[in-house]
Structure formats: structure tokens, C-alpha cells
């Protein structure tokens, strides 16, 4: 079932339950009111019979009690109204009907108890010859009880008509609710239909520039706004991916061409002397290493949009110390001085270590022989400063871009991805990286990780 159908059905069911509940209580309330009216009329009729009988006895100056049936006086109801059926019950269970009345009410043990003065007045509904009769039994005199009855045929007829009326009202209400629910669902889901159309169009055309018009601030409006935000992020991600592929293809073309040329020359190794052949093999090995590094950097950048896989509490100073030991082994002509304050941070140790290594490699590459690279860790921030040529003011906004290389770096090894990876790691950990002039000349890089990590004792 579609969402529109489910909403329509839900509205119809809800109204149906409400209508049925209202109809049920209305029917019960009407039935109780009608029966109460019958009970009131029976009480009034019993009082009239008792008063008329008592007045007759006083005029006849007779003793209390009844002898012949004629002594039981049943007055005519006023204006020819319905009087019902009346009879007297003795303490022995015998009945004395009123004159000119046909029939007899069944006598229960409770009615005999009322005649004997052992019970009070009560109402009862009984079946007499297949007809429901409402009976009121009340004390009349010593050893006597008066019973007044009326058939419930009129009440049953009214209730039967009411039952049909309520049934038709319930059916009409459900049908009307279903129609209104359908209209409301169609109106309410119109933004969802627009969202679906745009999503289907994007799936077919791959056009991520499409947007949904947001004309409300309700739940559906927020859904449309969220969908637009998702499209913006997806469009940006796809754009970055395309630029990465294009840049990587361009950067890979040069070393691959050079590598292919050198390998082609090596195939004619018999035409080369030993020194040239050895130099070519060394060049091929270096180019393969450079190519492997470039491919690894591209893969790391391609994974940059993924969330941090390992989010653990780690000692930043220990991660930096390990990276410094590796850099010192690789750049043996450069001295690395450290000031590492014991600090804990939360993040991925491998990613943070890779970022620090890239900063140290960049400093080692630009440091002169015998130069000093100063490395510090303070309050979740890593600083790396060298005494090389530094970074020009105009180049600082580009230094962390992918494949960007300063004019002075064209003749130095590297792919232009190292600092871009540093920026990416910093961003994935909620921090940033910046470059400034170092004291005494050179470049000062600051890698700040997110949060305010506490210091720990060494």
C-alpha cells in the first residue's frame, strides 16, 4: 500500500472507531433515558392506584385489606393516557387483578417478599407471552403488594429506529472521513511527491545541481532542506573526486612516461656500458618508489571523506616521538630537537602519525645540511619549525592544496600531496593546520587537533 493509502485508511479507521464509540454510548444513553421514563410512569401509576384504593376504602368505611376484586380500585389515566397493567400480590403469592384487565403477571419470590413486608419496592423486566414487560412492585398495605407493568414495545421500536439511524450515520461518517483523509493526505504528501520526482530525475540524469524548493518550515520542509544539503555535500564530494582523479592522472603521466622510457632503454642493455645501465636501473628503482608513494598519497586523499575508523585516547607526545625517530633516520643530515609535553588526545594514531611524518619530511626536505628542525607538543598542538627558505605570503593559501607545488619546489622530490594529507587529517579530527614564519627564518607549521585534551604526568 502507498503512504497515501495508509494515511487514508488510518483516517477512516480512526473516524470509524470514534463514530462507533459515540453511537454505542448514544444508544445506551437513549435506552437508559427511555427506560427511566417508563419507570417514572410506573411509579406515578402505582401511587395513583394506591391513593384511589385508599380513598375508596375510607368512603366505604371498611377495614383495611381487600375482599372481593371490586375493592381494588384502578383509576383511569388522565386524558385517556396509557395506564398499563395492575395487579395485587398477597403474602401467600396469590394475585388479584384489576377489573376489566386481561392477563396475569408472573409472581416472583421477591414480589411475595414485598407483600410480606420483607423487601422494598423494585423494578424488573420480564417476558410475558413473548413480550418484554417492565414491572414495578411496591408495598400497598399489610400483606399486600401492588404491581404495575407496561410493555416495552414502544421503547424497543424507538431503539430499533435509532439503531438504523446510528448505523447510517456511522457509515456516512466513515465514507466522509475516508474522502477527507484522501484529500488531506494528497495535500500533505505533495512535497514528498516533489522530493520523489527530483530524486528520480537525479538518479536518471546524474545532475546533482538540482534543488528542491523549500516553502515551509515544518517537518517536510526540513526534510527538503536536508535533502538539498545532502545534494550540496554530494555535489562537492563528486567534484573533489573528479578533480582528484584529473590531478592524479596528470601527475602520474610524467613519472609513468619517464619510467616507460627508461625501461625501453634498459631492454637494449647490451648496447649500454655498465655505468649507464646501473644508473638507469637506479633511476627506474627511484621512479618506482616515487610512483608508489604518489599512489599511496592519492589513496589516502581518496579516503579523506571517510570517518575516522579508530577513535581512541592516545598519547600525542609518544606518537610524535615515534615520527621524529623515523624522520631522524631518513634525514640524517638534519638535527631534530624536541620539546614534547605529555598530552592525551582522541583520534586515530596511524592518521595522526602520518600527518606528523609529512610535516617532518617537509621540514627535512627544506632544511639545509646541518640545519635544526624544532618539534613541539603542547595542549594538543604539534609545532614543526625549520630554518629553510620559508613559505612566501602569497603561497600560504595554496600550500595545503592537492598537487600544488611552489615554484622553488619543482626540482625537489615529492608529489605535492603531503601537506594536503596533513590538512585532511586535521579536518577529520576537528582541528586545522596553518603555516607562519618561524623565529629566525624558515617555516613554522602548527597542527591543532580538535578539543582541549588534558595534560598527563610523564
CATH of 219-302, one of 1.10.1200, 1.25.40, 1.20.1740, 1.10.287: 1.10.287
pLDDT of 431 strictly over 80: yes
- Residue 415: what pLDDT? 60
Classify residue 285 by burial, with Cβ atoms within 10 Å: 0-12, 13-18, 19+: exposed
376 bridge partner residues: 339, 383
* Cβ-defined contacts of 290-298 (< 8 Å, 24+): 290/255, 290/413, 290/415, 291/252, 291/255, 291/256, 291/259, 293/415, 294/248, 294/251, 294/252, 294/255, 294/415, 294/417, 295/252, 297/415, 297/417, 297/418, 297/421, 298/244, 298/248, 298/417
Cell numbers of 297, please?
598519497
Distance of alpha carbon 248 from alpha carbon 256, whole angstroms? 12
Rounded to two decimals, the pTM is 0.46
Q: Are 137 and 124 in contact (CB under 8 A)?
A: yes
As assigned by CATH, the class of the 3-76+83-158 domain is alpha beta
- Residue 64: what pLDDT? 47
Distance of alpha carbon 363 from alpha carbon 420, whole angstroms? 15
Residue whose entry in the numeric block shows the C-alpha cell 598527563: 456
**What backbone torsions phi and psi does residue 210 show, to the nearest 5 degrees?**
-65, 145
Q: 387-414, pLDDT tens digit by residue?
A: 888 888 888 887 887 766 666 555 565 5
Q: Write out the residue limits of the CATH 3.30.450 domain(s) in the chain.
A: 3-76+83-158
Distance of alpha carbon 239 from alpha carbon 237, whole angstroms? 5
Read off the DSSP letter of residue 432.
E
Residue 324 confidence class, pLDDT cut points 50, 70, 90: very high
Cell numbers of 219, please?
517537518
Cell numbers of 252, please?
602520474
Residue whose entry in the numeric block shows the C-alpha cell 446510528: 166
Q: Write out the residue limits of the CATH 1.10.287 domain(s) in the chain.
A: 219-302
- Residue 121: what pLDDT? 92
Contacts of 30 (CB under 8 A, 6+ apart): 158, 159, 162
Which of the two residues, 218 and 240, has the higher pLDDT score? 218
The mean predicted confidence, pLDDT, of the chain is 80
pLDDT of 455 strictly over 70: no
Residues in the chain: 458
Cell numbers of 79, please?
386524558
Which of the two residues, 267 and 69, has the higher pLDDT score? 267
- Residue 400: what pLDDT? 84
Biggest distance spanned by C-alpha atoms of the chain:
163
Q: Are 362 and 419 in contact (CB under 8 A)?
A: yes
Classify residue 27 by burial, with Cβ atoms within 10 Å: 0-12, 13-18, 19+: middle
Distance of alpha carbon 358 from alpha carbon 422, whole angstroms? 7
Average pLDDT on 242-267 reads 72
Pick the closest to residue 70 from 57, 80, 83 (CA basis): 57
Read off the DSSP letter of residue 80.
G
pLDDT of 214 strictly over 90: no
Distance of alpha carbon 425 from alpha carbon 400, whole angstroms? 12
Cell numbers of 370, please?
646541518
Hey, how many other C-beta atoms are within 10 angstroms of the C-beta on 346?
A: 17
Please state which CATH number belongs to domain 309-448.
3.30.565.10
pLDDT of 65 strictly over 60: no
Q: Are 39 and 134 in contact (CB under 8 A)?
A: yes
Amino acid at each position: 500500500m502507498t503512504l497515501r493509502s495508509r494515511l487514508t485508511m488510518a483516517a477512516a479507521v480512526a473516524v470509524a472507531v470514534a463514530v462507533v464509540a459515540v453511537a454505542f454510548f448514544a444508544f445506551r444513553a437513549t435506552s437508559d433515558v427511555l427506560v427511566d421514563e417508563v419507570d417514572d410512569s410506573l411509579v406515578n401509576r402505582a401511587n395513583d392506584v394506591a391513593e384511589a384504593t385508599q380513598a375508596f376504602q375510607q368512603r366505604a368505611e371498611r377495614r383495611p385489606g381487600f375482599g372481593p376484586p371490586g375493592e381494588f380500585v384502578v383509576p383511569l389515566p388522565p386524558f385517556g393516557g396509557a395506564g398499563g397493567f395492575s395487579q395485587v400480590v398477597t403474602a401467600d403469592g396469590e394475585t388479584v387483578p384489576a377489573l376489566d384487565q386481561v392477563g396475569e403477571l408472573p409472581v416472583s419470590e421477591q414480589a411475595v417478599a414485598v407483600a410480606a413486608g420483607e423487601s422494598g419496592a423494585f423494578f424488573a423486566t420480564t417476558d410475558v407471552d413473548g413480550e418484554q414487560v417492565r414491572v414495578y412492585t411496591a408495598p400497598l398495605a399489610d400483606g399486600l403488594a401492588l404491581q404495575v407493568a407496561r410493555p416495552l414495545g414502544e421503547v424497543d421500536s424507538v431503539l430499533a429506529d435509532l439503531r438504523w439511524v446510528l448505523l447510517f450515520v456511522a457509515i456516512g461518517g466513515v465514507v466522509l472521513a475516508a474522502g477527507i483523509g484522501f484529500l488531506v493526505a494528497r495535500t500533505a504528501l505533495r512535497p514528498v511527491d516533489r522530493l520523489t520526482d527530483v530524486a528520480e530525475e537525479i538518479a536518471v540524469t546524474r545532475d546533482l545541481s538540482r534543488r528542491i524548493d523549500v516553502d515551509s518550515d515544518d517537518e517536510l520542509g526540513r526534510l527538503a532542506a536536508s535533502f538539498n544539503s545532502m545534494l550540496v555535500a554530494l555535489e562537492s564530494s563528486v567534484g573533489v573526486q573528479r578533480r582528484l582523479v584529473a590531478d592524479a592522472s596528470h601527475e602520474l603521466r610524467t613519472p609513468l612516461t619517464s619510467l616507460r622510457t627508461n625501461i625501453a632503454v634498459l631492454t637494449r642493455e647490451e648496447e649500454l656500458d655498465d655505468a649507464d645501465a646501473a644508473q638507469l636501473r637506479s633511476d627506474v628503482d627511484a621512479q618506482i618508489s616515487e610512483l608508489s608513494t604518489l599512489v599511496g598519497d592519492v589513496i589516502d586523499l581518496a579516503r579523506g571523506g571517510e570517518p575516522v575508523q579508530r577513535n581512541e585516547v592516545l598519547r600525542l607526545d609518544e606518537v610524535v616521538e615515534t615520527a621524529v625517530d623515523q624522520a631522524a633516520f631518513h634525514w640524517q643530515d638534519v638535527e631534530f630537537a624536541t620539546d614534547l609535553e605529555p598530552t592525551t588526545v582522541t583520534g586515530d594514531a596511524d592518521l595522526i602519525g602520518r600527518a606528523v611524518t609529512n610535516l617532518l619530511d617537509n621540514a627535512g626536505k627544506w632544511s639545509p645540511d646541518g640545519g635544526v628542525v624544532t618539534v613541539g607538543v603542547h595542549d594538543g598542538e604539534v609545532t614543526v619549525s625549520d630554518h629553510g627558505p620559508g613559505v612566501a605570503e602569497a603561497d600560504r593559501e595554496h600550500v595545503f592544496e592537492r598537487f600544488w607545488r611552489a615554484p622553488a619546489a619543482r626540482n625537489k622530490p615529492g608529489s605535492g600531496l603531503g601537506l594536503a594529507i596533513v590538512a585532511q587529517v586535521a579536518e577529520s579530527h576537528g582541528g586545522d593546520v596553518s603555516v607562519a614564519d618561524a623565529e629566525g627564518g624558515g617555516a613554522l607549521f602548527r597542527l591543532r587537533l580538535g578539543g582541549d585534551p588534558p595534560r598527563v604526568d610523564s
